Amino acid sequence: MTRQPRIALIHATAIAIDPIKNAFDTGWPEADRVNILEDSLSLDRAKDSAVTDRMMERILALSKYARMIGSDAVLFTCSSFGTAIERAASVLDIPVLKPNEAMFEEAIRSGGRTAMLYTFPPAREGMETEFREEAARISPSAEIESFLVEGAIDAIRAGDEATHNRLVAEAAAKLEDFDAITLAHFSTARARGAVQAVTPIPVLTSTDAAVARLRRLLT
């Protein structure tokens, strides 16, 4: 039997696990997936205004562990640790992906203006920086505008997916004159269907884009 690539999925919150599982089940079901959950990361990140040196070390340690267990690539599923993930990617000899990089590239190539719906405030600044860095490489005139969906992350943490999806869809319905809507977090990807139902603007998720990129890289 041909060995399938092993992908280490490193989660800083449990609410990211189901969306990326669903994306793999649809886009690359054969891939060998390993889930590594370290949910104190998201709690600690919420307390700090930036990614600290200690967080850098923790992200690198998790990446090295993923490599040690035979992973062919690492995908982080939390969007608040971009600089730390970049450092890990520069050290390891396998692909180490930030959660949003594939989605941002797709959004930039789809047009000039992107709306980003986000639910976890500490992630915003880093994601906007990542978008602009990617835009500088692909299309310097591309723009991003971010919109916080109040209460959505609290709903999903409480297990209320219906409220989460409704809040995200209500925010999307107000958007006009954008070339793409990006759902910022892996946890937000579960609202894709609800968002598509209320807007004609193309809706992109980090989960589907990341799976597609990994499959291109490894097969």
Q: How does DSSP assign 165-197, residue by residue?
A: HHHHHHHHHT--S-SEEEE-SGGGGGGHHHHHT
Domain count, the chain: 2
* pLDDT, tens digit (0-9, with 9 covering 90-100), for 8-34: 999 999 999 999 999 999 999 999 999
> What are the tens digits of pLDDT across the range 162-213?
999 999 999 999 999 999 999 999 999 999 999 999 999 999 999 999 999 9
Q: Both 108 and 182 in a single domain? A: yes
**pTM for this predicted structure:** 0.90
- 200 and 105 share one domain: yes
pLDDT score, position 146 = 98
Output the domain CATH number for residue 48.
3.40.50.1860
Residue 48 confidence (pLDDT):
81
Residues 197 and 114 in one domain: yes
Q: Is 130 in the same domain as 191?
A: yes
- Whether 1 is in a domain gets the answer no
Domain of 43? 6-99+208-218
How does pLDDT run across 92-126, given as a tens digit for each residue? 999 999 999 999 999 999 888 999 999 999 889 98
Residues 105 and 201 in one domain: yes
Q: CA 169, CA 172: separation in Å to the nearest integer?
A: 5
